[in-house]
Structure 1
Amino acid sequence: MGAGAAVTGHHDAGFLQFVDPKRKWYNNRRLIALNAWIVLLLITSSTNGYDGSLMNSFESLKLWNDYFGSPHGGKLGLLNAIQNIGSLAAYPFAPYSSDGLGRKLTVWMGATVMLAGVAVQSAAHNLNSFYAARFVIGFGLTFATNSAPMLVTEVAYPPYRAQLTALYNSLWYSGNIVASWTTFGTEFINNNWAWRIPSILQGLPSVFQFALVLFAPESPRWLVSKGKEAQALQTLAYYHADGDETDPLVLYEFNEIKAGIELDRTVAANVGWSALWSTPGNRRRMTIIIAIAFFSQWSGNGLVSYYLSQVFRTIGITNVTIQLLITGILAIWNLFWAASASFAVERVGRRTLFLTSASGMLVFFTLQTVCSAQYALHGNNAAAHAVIAFIFIFYAFYDLAFTPLIVSYTVEILPYSLRAKGFNVFNFAVSLSLIFNQYVNPSALGHLGWKYYIVYCCWLAFELVFLYFFIVETKGLSLEETAALFDGEDVTRVLGQATHEIRHDDLPDEKGSGQYTPTDELKA
């Protein structure tokens, strides 16, 4: 925390002192264009959310169950886990693609592979072809989800970076909503199009990315890392300052990016996979990142996300239409709270959101457990209805942090040289936790019923204690400043020296005045 104080103290205003207060996302054509490109990247998360709800909805569809022989037990577990197994298969390759080929090309590759998987899934004639299709979707999703949030956070206009990156994972629920309500509508189709139509729609975000993402701006940090400094400066200037390469904010960003990447190159401990655990700062990062990855899936939410139909049955709700209706309403509820938290992240702060989220989840999951027990033991219908209410309130608290922050916090605390690899470890941990959930949860629910909830109550208490001691506040800092929180005063000093001379009154009145700017060096 001492290092954090040093960073905050030196960068008392950080990039904010150079931001033009008149330049807003709604009144600047280039910021509007930039944010449109960012939306194209944000919908990567929608594909993932769509799939989560899709399988939940299919499990409630009689036609789907009849067609595939009502998968249950191990078959049902594999059906939900196979996408994550596909994701695991791609993890060794995704960070090298992101760092080597570029962020946007990696997103395009992922979208292409996912489209192939969706085509096979939609035309599936047996369970094996359905398994294969979901494996391919998971494989492609790893490439897209490794690069898309990094490109968002690395290209976004600094005052909006945290909010937009937080919005990335929140849009998981946009896919969730489309899948829930599409399946709710197609339930009334009396043939196999009841499940084939929702399956086809899963590919819609990938269609847009396949057609458009190669025209999006590339990450200035990736460009600098590849020696394309002139192009990086032009990208920053074009989108962040209407093309003015002498704008104070652009110079601040450019110099800080160069200093951070150059520092990583000169410090052997900052490159390679072993670097993720080679320094105290990196070990602290990875402890937090792996923990929040598992917390995001092991907070009791996994029961609702993938096995809601089984949860419904434990409280006596067996009508398929009612199940699908509640699923659809819950998706809208989740999107509202997650998006609201995303826009509040810079105002409220990450630490406050994490601690509030964990506290609320512990309280309301405990109440959900008590009411489930009341229904199971005494047949109390009022308790069953209360379970539904507590699921909604539980998710409101979950959505304050564990939807918007787990991706944005991960990518912002990692330095550029480790960002792709560290984020890959995060996604790997999420997949491991999901595979465990998808095999263990249905079996445990079947054998233990409401008693299984007690395990999650204990785990939520542990989460709260961990977050209290480990989460570091990063509000109001640039990417480079945030990463420096974990690396001590030496890194802080390097970044400070790189940006120290950038002041409004030191800048030339016009280009070519004879004063130094980064452009002069690039043109030399």
Structure 2
Amino acid sequence: MGAGAVTAGGNDAYIHLIDPQRKWYNNKRLVFLHGWIFLLLITSSANGFDGSILNNFQSLAVWNDYFGTPLGGRLGLLNAIQNIGSLAAYPFAPYLSDGIGRRPAIWVGSTIMLVAVVLQAAAQNWGMFIGARFLIGFGLSFAANAAPMLVTEISYPKYRATLTSLYNSFWYSGNIIATWSTFGTQHINNDWAWRIPSILQGIAPFFQFFLLFFCPESPRWLISKGKETQALKTLAYYHADGNEQDPLVQFEFHEIKSAIEFDREVTANIGWKSLFSTTGNRKRMTIIVAIAFFSQWSGNGLVSYYLKAVLQSIGITSATIQILISGILAIWNLFWAVLASFLVERLGRRLLFLTSTCGMLLFFTLQTICTARYNIAGNNAAAHAVIAFIFLFYAAYDLAFTPLIVSYTVEILPYALRAKGFNVFNFTISLALIFNQYVNPIALGKIGWKYYIVYCCWLVFELVFCYVMIVETKGLSLEETAALFDGEDASNNLHNATRDVRIDDVDEKASGSYNHSSDLKA
């Protein structure tokens, strides 16, 4: 090839800049980087723990005795209060993430959660337990707003999509710990049956409290605050063994810098209105709000928060069997979510979303039919089939609506809108959850299995929406992905940003002649 500019839209050029010999497992600095990213991923684990623990507590006789077996609206409040706490923090979360940095925002959230875990584990009455649940949600909002953004902004480009998709997949690791710890303590005939799992909820925030400030800060945040030298050093240290002149590092640095400057010009003095000020942003927010709502309103909320009621509707009343099914389902979900995370760059986002919605529609419809047959005709075989279809439904759900909802949201948002847009995403999830947690127990109690038909109809709408609206972002950098929605001006801006990164550098790198520092290990 002759000398020339690398175009920002040139996806192949971006791939050529990545050293093919540099793998996550054979480079010391990438190993360390992924260790820090793991520390960020467990924020989602803490969320999964919290989202599952009450489902399991409902099956514990000692917990029901202690808190008077909450039902109906009281049970709905208990499940919803954590999300009400999250709502209370949402107005402040993006300003904290953008203002003081991603790391400090996560640390503030972890500290609040640690305090809340102590209160929950030591709860002496209903009010104290409810207050602790509120505080957990409040702290979680700060951590959950910043953590996935930091994951996607520090990741080595080759692994960014997978690692960001793993963020939400780690929800199930918390689910597993919560469920199996409760399964192990269910035979303790005193308060420790639920206090021990409550204490374990503090594992993730405990480690984050002590280790977070050793983690690298987002180069994008650093550049946005005028700390360009520090940003370049961070990119070089983790992405090129400290070589600041590495073509990949130079490409990333100039692309990020130019994109942030362009976004500042476009969104200056607009604030929250900028989320809806352009055609591209309106399309972004329509997709983001929709997939956030879909993630909680696809029928999965029935099992996630009211598995006991669902299993009782098909004749399974044993607490041990209920928790056992929940524990096995958690492992099943983690397997499929992690598998899908590793397929994101191979199959693409659009195919995974469409496959997921088709599978959910099919298996939830079959689950509804079998539940109806059991309730109308007492068919035990139909009851067993319901369990099978719950597992198959979640396999389909986990192909997209576990790994992709967070990674797709943060990658289609430009830096200037990322914190605010992601906050809207989390806000929408909380609204959907609060609605579900209040309505589901009442609807299940009033009309039973017929309530499932509502979700069957809704899943048809989800499938149509995903087919029409989901844009493929496979293989693009964060800045290139943002440009998909913003048209020619943004694309030209990225082209100009990287005009100094030359094709001959790319050829030299691709041919293996580019000389890196000796951090590679056999």
Both proteins in one fold, TM over 0.5: yes
**Is residue 125 of structure 1 aligned with residue 87 of structure 2?**
no
The code of the aligned residue for 1:470 comes to M
Q: Is the 8 A contact 2:179 2:326 kept in 1?
A: yes
The code of the aligned residue for 1:433 comes to A
**Is residue 258 of structure 1 aligned with residue 257 of structure 2?**
yes
Instruction: Report how far residue 8 of structure 1 moved.
Output: 9.8
Partner of 2:348: 349
The code of the aligned residue for 1:192 comes to D
Q: Is the 8 A contact 1:87 1:138 kept in 2?
A: yes
> Within 5 Å, which residues of 2 pair with 1:365-514?
365-503=364-502, 505=504
Partner of 2:513: none
Instruction: Report how far residue 497 of structure 1 moved.
Output: 1.4
Partner of 2:241: 242
CA distance in 2, matches of 1:326, 1:270: 52
Instruction: Report how far residue 12 of structure 1 moved.
Output: 3.6
Secondary structure class of the residue paired with 1:401? coil
> Within 5 Å, which residues of 2 pair with 1:31-46?
31-46=30-45
Show CA shifts across 1:285-336 (max 9, x none): 0000000000000000000000000000110000110001000000000000
Partner of 1:326: 325
Partner of 1:96: 95
The code of the aligned residue for 2:254 comes to N
Residue 326 and residue 506 in structure 1: after superposition, are their counterparts in 2 closer, same or farther (change >3 A)?
closer
The code of the aligned residue for 1:40 comes to L
> Within 5 Å, which residues of 2 pair with 1:50-65?
50-65=49-64
The code of the aligned residue for 2:98 comes to D
Partner of 1:112: 111
Secondary structure class of the residue paired with 1:477? coil
Instruction: Report how far residue 501 of structure 1 moved.
Output: 2.7
The code of the aligned residue for 1:118 comes to V
Instruction: Report how far residue 52 of structure 1 moved.
Output: 1.6
Show CA shifts across 1:14-52 (max 9, x none): 421100000000000000000000000000000111112
CA distance in 2, matches of 1:66, 1:267: 58
What is the total number of aligned residue pairs between the two structures? 502
CA distance in 2, matches of 1:41, 1:255: 26
CA distance in 2, matches of 1:76, 1:127: 12
Secondary structure class of the residue paired with 1:242? coil
Q: Is the 8 A contact 1:217 1:235 kept in 2?
A: yes
CA distance in 1, matches of 2:148, 2:382: 41
Q: Is the 8 A contact 1:83 1:136 kept in 2?
A: yes
Q: CA RMSD for the aligned pairs?
A: 1.3
CA distance in 2, matches of 1:495, 1:271: 22
CA distance in 2, matches of 1:418, 1:107: 19
The code of the aligned residue for 1:30 comes to R
CA distance in 2, matches of 1:504, 1:24: 23
Residue 270 and residue 492 in structure 1: after superposition, are their counterparts in 2 closer, same or farther (change >3 A)?
farther
CA distance in 1, matches of 2:61, 2:19: 57
Residue 14 and residue 141 in structure 1: after superposition, are their counterparts in 2 closer, same or farther (change >3 A)?
farther
The code of the aligned residue for 2:153 comes to E
CA distance in 1, matches of 2:268, 2:479: 17
Partner of 1:299: 298
Partner of 1:197: 196
CA distance in 2, matches of 1:504, 1:240: 19
CA distance in 2, matches of 1:271, 1:331: 43
Show CA shifts across 1:382-426 (max 9, x none): 000000000000000000000000000000000000000000000
CA distance in 1, matches of 2:379, 2:204: 44
CA distance in 2, matches of 1:449, 1:178: 30
Secondary structure class of the residue paired with 2:298? coil
Instruction: Report how far residue 266 of structure 1 moved.
Output: 1.7
The code of the aligned residue for 1:135 comes to F
Q: Is the 8 A contact 1:14 1:477 kept in 2?
A: no
CA distance in 2, matches of 1:487, 1:194: 54
Show CA shifts across 1:410-458 (max 9, x none): 0000000000000000000000000000000000001111100000000
Show CA shifts across 1:110-156 (max 9, x none): 00000000000000011110000000000000000000000000000
Show CA shifts across 1:209-260 (max 9, x none): 0000111000000000000000000000000000000001000000000010
The code of the aligned residue for 1:67 comes to Y
**Is residue 219 of structure 1 aligned with residue 218 of structure 2?**
yes
Q: Is the 8 A contact 2:106 2:147 kept in 1?
A: yes
Partner of 1:81: 80
Q: Is the 8 A contact 2:11 2:476 kept in 1?
A: no
CA distance in 2, matches of 1:237, 1:169: 28
The code of the aligned residue for 2:404 comes to L
CA distance in 1, matches of 2:440, 2:7: 43
CA distance in 2, matches of 1:266, 1:390: 51
Instruction: Report how far residue 188 of structure 1 moved.
Output: 1.0
Instruction: Report how far residue 500 of structure 1 moved.
Output: 2.7
Partner of 2:25: 26
CA distance in 2, matches of 1:135, 1:169: 22
Partner of 2:359: 360
Comparing 218-227 with 271-280, which one deviates more in the overlay? 271-280
CA distance in 2, matches of 1:295, 1:270: 32
Following TM superposition, where does structure 1 have runs of at least 4 consecutive aligned residues deviating by more than 4 angstroms? Answer: none
TM-score of the two chains, using structure 1 as the length reference: 0.94
TM-score of the two chains, using structure 2 as the length reference: 0.95
CA distance in 1, matches of 2:255, 2:387: 49
Partner of 1:3: none
Residue 311 and residue 270 in structure 1: after superposition, are their counterparts in 2 closer, same or farther (change >3 A)?
farther
CA distance in 2, matches of 1:255, 1:451: 56
CA distance in 2, matches of 1:34, 1:437: 38
Q: Is the 8 A contact 1:269 1:279 kept in 2?
A: no
CA distance in 2, matches of 1:85, 1:394: 28
Q: Is the 8 A contact 1:270 1:417 kept in 2?
A: no
CA distance in 2, matches of 1:388, 1:407: 28
CA distance in 2, matches of 1:9, 1:176: 40
Secondary structure class of the residue paired with 2:296? coil
Structure 2 segments unaligned to the other structure (5+ residues): 1-5, 509-522
Partner of 1:517: none
**Is residue 207 of structure 1 aligned with residue 206 of structure 2?**
yes
